[in-house]
Structure 1
Amino acid sequence: MGTRRFACALVVVRMYIRRGQNWSICIDSDPYAVMALFLRDLAGLTHTEVGPNSTLAHTVKIRGARWPTHGQIKQEWDSWWQSIMHGPTHNQLESTHDLPLQLERRGYPQLARVASAHYGQAIVFADEHHREFSRAAVEYVPQRIQELEKILLDQGVEHAGQSNTETNIRVLQVPLSEPRAWLGGGGTIVASHNLLRDGAAFHSYMEPIASVMFP
């Protein structure tokens, strides 16, 4: 299990990891993903346009309905989200303290404007989610890892291919209103916090996802 300090030592975030012969499972949460979803809603983007097809568990008041550059923000946000899905795990990420500047430097000027205007709200929301994850995850995450490991072994992942390439699966918990999961890309599965608390529902979503990942 790894740890990292988030947002100027506001909270310590846990990462749960299990490794096999040629695979690894990681279940954690990510401040970037949580703030990205918060900023998605603040920017007037909807879950039917980009990102996981579910609203946040917390209602976000949209500021100014849709920004004048809605189309550009949508493109920038989707690009940023894909980088989170395919990027390193959170204990390798930079501090979120300078998020608006990071977005500006990465070529997301309109998204940086949204982040700059509402950074305080976004970081408080992400911090509250991470505190809850760090407090409660020990009650259910180890069981979910065990269940996911069994699903992978039933899919024959230990014998999948003869190469030395390791398959890394990351289950990224985010605070969504529906108990659902999506294959986000790059071996990342986005799952709502409610789904991870329900063993039967978790299995019903993970089994078909594993079948897609390991046909």
Structure 2
Amino acid sequence: MHHTGGPGWRITMDTCGPMLMALYLRDVSGLVGAGSPALSHVAPAVTAADHTMLTSGVGGTGALRDQWEVWWTRLLRGFPENPQDISPPDFPELAGMPALQRVAHAHYGAALTWSREQSQLYAMMAAQRETLGGHKILADLVQNREMELGRSARDFTLTIVEVPLSEQRAWFIEPNRLIMSSHLLDDQEIFRSYVQPVVELLV
């Protein structure tokens, strides 16, 4: 986790294990375009499986998509204060979502392994950024905006959730969250194109 801040403002960058699990289950279920915003596929890619038989008695693919979207919205709202892991074998956190529970039961081991691998890779990348000063752009964006406005930044928090996505971009979720490809910061020009408008809005 990285924190950048000044008087009254704070920007946090981190990843989220439960969101990684959710994205794995979305992609292994072939739920293209699910969620709002509809994020791109994860990278490295996860091979989709056919869950028609698994979910046929509990609403099928339509129910699975709806239930996953409810869960995803809940994860977005809960981060970073209350990231909610799912616990096998019954997944009580997914109560009332039988199709999603079945898929979680079928793929829990693989999803957990994948999410842990991605979290470890993220931790190494974040440590390297700290060493190289890769986060300095965040403070620069705020300071440049303060100079443009001729005043200090308003009090604000911005939470940036980094997840491994195939599309190098960020998605703004009002009022103060960004979901971002974990390698977007590697290209500071593209990073700036997505993050600067949000910083300008908040400052």
Structure 1 length normalisation: TM-score? Answer: 0.77
Counting aligned pairs with the same residue, the percent is 27
Q: Say if 1:196 and 1:202, in contact at 8 Å, map to a contact too.
A: yes
Provide the secondary structure at the position in 2 that maps to 1:55. coil
Report the 3-state secondary structure (helix = DSSP H, G, I; strand = E; otherwise coil) of the residue aligned with 2:173: strand
- Tell me the residue number matched to 2:139: 149
Contact kept? 1:85, 1:186, Cα under 8 Å:
no
Give ranges in structure 1 of 5+ residues lacking alignment: 1-14, 161-165
For the aligned residue pairs, the C-alpha RMSD in angstroms reads 2.6
Structure 2 distance, partners of 1:176, 1:128, is 14
What is the CA–CA distance in structure 2 between the aligned matches of 1:85 and 1:95, rounded to whole Å?
13
Name which one, 1 or 2, has greater alpha-carbon Rg: 2
Counterpart CA distance in 2 for 1:62 and 1:200 is 33
Amino acid corresponding to residue 49 of structure 1 in structure 2: A
Q: Which residue of 2 aligns with 1:10?
A: none
2:166 match: 177
Contact 1:23 1:158 in 2 (8 A): no
| Distance 1:175-1:159 versus aligned 2 partners, 3 A rule | closer
| Equivalence for 1:21 | 7
104, 110, 113: which is aligned to 1:121? 110
Q: Is the 8 A contact 1:179 1:195 kept in 2?
A: yes
SS of 1:140's equivalent in the other structure is helix
Kindly provide the CA deviation profile for residues 60-109 of structure 1, in whole angstroms up to 9, marking residues without a partner as x.
2211165542222222211221222221317x53554448514333x322
Whether 2:48 is the aligned partner of 1:62: answer yes
Do the aligned partners of 1:25 and 1:145 also contact (CA within 8 Å) in 2? no
Alignment of 1:1-215 (within 5 A): 15-46=1-32, 48-50=33-35, 51-64=37-50, 68=56, 69-89=60-80, 92-98=82-88, 101-105=91-95, 107-140=96-129, 143-156=133-146, 158-160=152-154, 166-211=155-200, 213-214=201-202
Query: Conserved in 2, the CA contact under 8 Å of 1:57 and 1:177?
Result: yes
SS at match of 2:135: helix
Question: Which residue of 2 is the match for residue 5 of structure 1?
Answer: none
Contact persistence 1:24–1:168 (CA under 8 A): yes
Question: Which secondary structure state, in structure 2, belongs to the residue aligned with residue 155 of structure 1?
Answer: helix
In the TM superposition, what whole-angstrom CA distance separates every residue of 1:14-64 from its partner, at most 9, and x where no partner exists? x11123222211111101111111111122201x33254311112222111
Between the aligned partners of 1:99 and 1:193, the Cα distance in structure 2 is 30
Q: What stretches of structure 2 of length at least 5 have no aligned partner? A: none
Distance 1:155 1:177, change over 3 A: same
Moved more, 115-124 or 80-89: 80-89
Quote the offset at 1:110 in angstroms: 1.7
Task: Figure out how many residues of one structure are paired with residues of the other and give that number.
Answer: 192
